[in-house]
Amino acid sequence: MSEPLVIVFPIYQGVTQLDFTGPLQFLRHMPGAEIIVASVDGADVESEGLHFTQLRPLPEIARCDVLCVPGGSGCTQALQDEAFMRQIRRLGADARYLTSVCTGSLILAAAGLLPGKRAACHWSMRDSLKLFGAIPSAARVERDGNVISGGGVTAGIDFALALIAELHGEDTAQTIQLYLEYAPAPPFTGGTPELAPPHIYAKVQAQMAESLARRRALVAQIAQS
């Protein structure tokens, strides 16, 4: 029998749960996949009122074929956690595919894994990728060599289907898409700065202004250290 395809989701406090639970829901139906959700020392992780337990300790994972890093409000704290970042660098060094959802691409970039690579990210933090030598992409799913990244949060499902198609072909991806009845038809036109009504975009910018300023400043400080 062939070896399973090992997919690792490294998670941390403050991760956005849909960044990894969305892709995980699709990837677990892929033939031959072994999915591991892990944290530093296997510690429990809290995410938006949900608690994830019985996680694998990152140092105990010898290798992976796909490293998939999710984003979240705790991303900047994860960037400062040397134990976490050391494992990202170690697993990413030999992974066949370096992948991410939302601000997870910032973690890959800060680990030195995306120099000169195009990567998607949540629109609010996309430009910060430049600080680590990556190239920001506004695509919902971006592919640059062995780097496949999804934009903000819900883009993780589209990313997962793109990854499944890469690994097992479009028929398998579409089979899983049908099984999970993924046929998005949002009730409103929006969801990106380009599509959202101007007054909605202005409102969201105002709501996020203070926290975004702090996050961007901290990421800039990390990039300079």
User: Angle CA(216)–CA(218)–CA(223) in degrees, nearest 5?
Assistant: 95
Nearest alpha-carbon partner for 173 in 33, 67, 34, 69: 33
Q: Which two tokens stand for residue 187?
A: 């009730």
Amino acid found at 90: R
Report phi then psi at 150, rounded to 5.
-105, 155
Of 64, 68, 75, 102, the catalytic one is 102
Distance CA 45, CA 17 (A): 10
| Single-letter code of the amino acid located at 169 | G
β-strands 45-47, 50-52 pairing? antiparallel
Residue 102: active-site member = yes
Helix (H) or strand (E) holding 6: strand 5-10
Within 8 A by CB and 6+ apart from 18, the residues are 153, 154, 156
Report the catalytic residues.
Answer: 102
